Amino acid sequence: MFSLNATVPVFSMMVLGYLLHNKTRLLDSRFADCLNTFVFQVALPVQLFQNLATSDFHTIWNGGVVVFCFVTSLLSILLLLGLSFLLRETGLRAEFIQAGYRGSQALLGTALMQNIYGSSGPLALVLIGAVPLYNVAAVLLLTLMVPGGRLDRKALGKAAKGIVTNPIILGIAVGLLWSLLKIPQPVILQRSVSSLAATATPLGLLALGASIEPRKVLGCWKPTVVSSVFKLLVFGALFLPVAIHLGYRGEVLVVILIMLASPATVSCFNMARSMGHEGTLSAGTVVLTTVCSAFTFTLWLYILRTLALI
């Protein structure tokens, strides 16, 4: 029940988004795209800022977790890079790697942490340790492994600018600085920020559900399945025992699990398409991991709860 209480409310919102889009058309594709943009550029950064700004910096910060997230993310990327050379279709290699390591920690991670602990807790540490690396690696891979070998410098520059101005990273940075300096928040600001932050999770999950198109999985199903298995199961099996051995428990262990076993993020498809790739494998992995994570993530939580680690 602990595991189901954490995951079912999250994925039921995604199912509702899927139904509103595919059955009633109340949530069309254009509106879902607008919702997704609003959540990632405004609501989610504000939510992360609020969680950090109202917390004690010295209680939140843990350099060891940041380093662990960076190292495990780098090892995951290198492992997928090695496996990608087994693909006969060279044009799919960059998508295979990116979709296999790049998870939806910000949106689904926040929703899951709120259901389990009531706040996002140390999720910011994972985002600091992993998200910048995720973006840099994605830009390099998608640029250097572009089909036909054509380097689009304009797209590369745009992607590099997007890394520096990533709203989620900026929200975390401002929140940590606010907490470190102990800047008080007037009641008017606090309530306004709280109201805006509250929209992030429900709107984001509805938009994510509306973007699910099962037929996309069939485009190139073999590499899609392999990439999805690594994203949902293999990395967790490899690195969770290391995290447990290092003494991580409770909230910290859950956010590490979110980093290792959350479904692929929709931005995988968007970035792949914008940088000259077909995007079929990326879209398929997003759909398959999102659907299957309802079961795999519940299983991971059940195992950790049974072992009294969370």
What tens-digit pLDDT sequence spans the chain (310 residues)?
888 888 888 899 989 999 999 888 888 888 888 888 898 889 989 988 988 888 778 787 889 999 999 999 999 999 999 999 999 888 899 999 999 999 888 888 888 998 888 877 788 888 888 888 888 888 888 888 876 655 556 666 666 676 777 888 888 889 889 988 888 888 998 899 999 998 988 998 898 888 888 877 777 889 999 999 999 999 999 999 999 999 999 999 999 999 999 999 888 887 787 777 888 899 899 889 998 999 999 999 999 999 999 9
In what helix (H) or strand (E) does residue 132 lie, and over which residues does it extend? helix 123-144
CA 286-287-288 angle, to 5 degrees, is 95
The answer to whether residues 115 and 298 touch, using CB atoms and an 8 Å cutoff, is no
Q: What is the dihedral of CA 13, 19, 20, 21, to 10 degrees?
A: 110
- Can you say whether residue 220 is alpha, beta or left, with left for phi > 0 and alpha for psi between -120 and 50 degrees? beta
pLDDT score recorded for residue 148 = 60
Q: Tell me the residue length of the chain.
A: 310
The answer to whether residues 149 and 21 touch, using CB atoms and an 8 Å cutoff, is no
Query: Of 261, 20, 55, 267, whose CA–CA distance to 176 is shortest?
Result: 55
Q: What is the pTM of this model?
A: 0.85
